[in-house]
Amino acid sequence: MAKGRQQGGDSEVGFDPEPGVVAPVGRGWSGNDSETETGTGSGTGTGTGTGTGYDTPVPRVQPGLHVLLEAPELIGGRRWALLANHSAVTVDLEPARVALCAAGVGTLVRLLAPEHGLDGVAQDMEAVDDERDPLTGVPVRSLYGRDASTLEPRPEDLEGIEVVLVDLPDIGARHYTFAATMDAVMGTCERQAVEVVVLDRPNPINGVAREGGLVSPGYESLVSRLPTPVRHGLTLGELALLLQRERYPRLELTVVACRGWRRAEWWDSTGLPWVPPSPNLPTLDTAALYPGMCLVEATNLSEGRGTTRPFHLIGAPWLDRQIVVAGLRGAGLPGVGFRPARFRPMFGKHTGEVCEGVEVHLLDRAAALPVATGLRLLQVVHDAYPAHFAWRAEPYEFVRSTPAIDLLTGSAEARACIEAGGDLGAMLDRWCQEVADFEGRLQGIELYR
């Protein structure tokens, strides 16, 4: 049973080694010790699922959704909203909202949808309108509309709602917008005195590796809203605990922890199916590269959107692939390889044009440094093509006044370093110290061993 105690605005927690049990603790938070030294709670046997009755083997790791389905009394007969999208599913791929309703978990009143929409159809930075969910019949409030005012719930969106459930995927990168949407929901819930219950899921690119600098004051945005490094090494539930401690001390928060997950594990060792959380993250390898390859969005280079290899294929019509690959191979980047490539995006930047550039291959994911790789790639292209390379000039995530690269990296430091021909290595070393300082803030936050 999870034990919680509250000290002022912060909460501290201690765990008994009984996995999969959650107890809400007033205006604190709770979780479960989902990994012990003896491997207790690893999950064995078979089960029939929760929504369809499929005879599906139970994976060794089970997300918080399944823990709640086993103990629906946590919600009881209350009225609830759900922040989720299409990739919030049971182990037998039943949509979470359908499974929760079938299990009699209170009364679903409203769905809240992040960027890309409830069904993950919209492309990046594409506005999504409110709608009605055909599966449950309840209204869907889009938290990614046509202007910045849509990025958080309105007070009226929570009228009559006693608890907001959060079951979202996260891919371990600060600039992946789903956790920022959760942060916005937590803020509104604190003001409206609505409880938040996070149904946790594993960090797919593991909960150990961290990389990148923190966000400097004045550089906050949807992609830099979290007080973490670029690659943060936390689960969504752990992020919620951090946000409660540092921003929302009056929020009533419960985290329903995963059962059986170990921090060092990647998604493909959990036994859980991979459901692409957004249109351009088709594979786990893509997610592993995303913390660094997403930086290409802040330039006039194609990041491979409009191809079958987004965030692996990088290029432009004016590049020479051999020059780029030679520069990258000479940078001594660990865990990755580079293939000279030509490709033609069918949408996005350089639509219909043949681009030359590079395909980034993940060779050793444990050794790879995606943020350093992304920055080195931008440095190579900037230095080789000073007359062609450019930073994104268009608004980015509803922000016009700050360059997109500054929002993604959290400050102007990386852009200034590349423009001045500075020492990226020295900057990355400073960021390592920022990561160490960040880890010092995590006592009582990490739910998994």
CATH superfamily assigned to domain 2-275: Uncharacterised protein PF07075, DUF1343 (3.40.50.12170)
CA distances (Å), origin 155, targets 188, 208, 252, 390, 438: 7, 37, 17, 41, 32
Sign for the CA dihedral angle at 197, 143, 227, 436 comes to positive
- C-alpha 394/C-alpha 411 separation (Å) is 18
| pLDDT score of 63 | 97
- C-alpha 362/C-alpha 335 separation (Å) is 6
What pTM did the predictor assign? 0.88
Q: What token pair was written down for 13?
A: 């927690």
Considering only CA atoms, which of 142, 158, 160, 140 is closest in space to residue 150? 142
Please enumerate in sequence order all residues whose Cβ is within 8 A of that of 7, keeping only pairs 6 or more positions apart, or say none.
none
Q: What CATH number labels 284-411?
A: 3.90.1150.140
Considering only CA atoms, which of 341, 350, 357, 259 is closest in space to residue 300? 350
CB 301 within 8 A of CB 315: yes
* Torsion-angle region of 212 (φ positive above 0: left; ψ -120 to 50: alpha; else: beta): left
CB 6 within 8 A of CB 53: no
Residue whose pair of structure tokens reads 């009364």 in the numeric block: 107
| pLDDT score of 159 | 95
| pLDDT score of 59 | 77
Residue ranges of the chain with per-residue pLDDT less than 70: 1-58
Q: What token pair was written down for 252?
A: 């009533």
CA distances (Å), origin 340, targets 141, 290, 299, 365: 44, 20, 20, 21
Q: What token pair was written down for 444?
A: 């009582």
- C-alpha 75/C-alpha 79 separation (Å) is 8
**Domain spans of the chain, in order of start:** 2-275, 284-411
- C-alpha 317/C-alpha 276 separation (Å) is 29
pLDDT digits (tens, 9 = 90+) for 239-248: 999 999 999 9
Q: What is the distance of C-alpha 65 from the center of its chain?
A: 17
| pLDDT score of 118 | 94
The average confidence (pLDDT) of the chain is 88
Considering only CA atoms, which of 414, 393, 404, 205 is closest in space to residue 290? 205
pLDDT digits (tens, 9 = 90+) for 197-237: 999 999 999 999 999 999 999 999 999 999 999 999 999 99
- Give the chain as a 3 state SS string: CEEEEEECCEEEEEECCCCCCCCCCCCCCCCCCCCCCCCCCCCCCEECCCCCCCCEECCCCECHHHHHHHCHHHCCCCEEEEEECCCCECCCCCEHHHHHHHCCCCEEEEEEECCCCCCCCCCCCCCCCCEECCCCCCEEEECCCCCHHHHCCCHHHHCCCCEEEEECCCCCECCCCHHHHHHHHHHHHHHHCCEEEEECCCCCCCCCCCECCCCCCCCCCCCCCCCCCCECCCCHHHHHHHHHHHCCCCCCEEEECCECCCCCCCHHHCCCCCCCCCCCCCCHHHHHHHHHHHHHHHECCECCCCCCCCCCEEEECCCCHHHHHHHHHCCCCCCEEEEEEEECCCCCCCCCCCEEEEEEEECCCCCCCHHHHHHHHHHHHHHHCCCCCCECCCCECCECCCCHHHHHHCCCHHHHHHHCCCCHHHHHHHHHHHHHHHHCCCCCCCCCC
- C-alpha 290/C-alpha 288 separation (Å) is 6
pLDDT digits (tens, 9 = 90+) for 365-406: 999 999 999 999 999 999 999 999 999 999 999 999 999 999
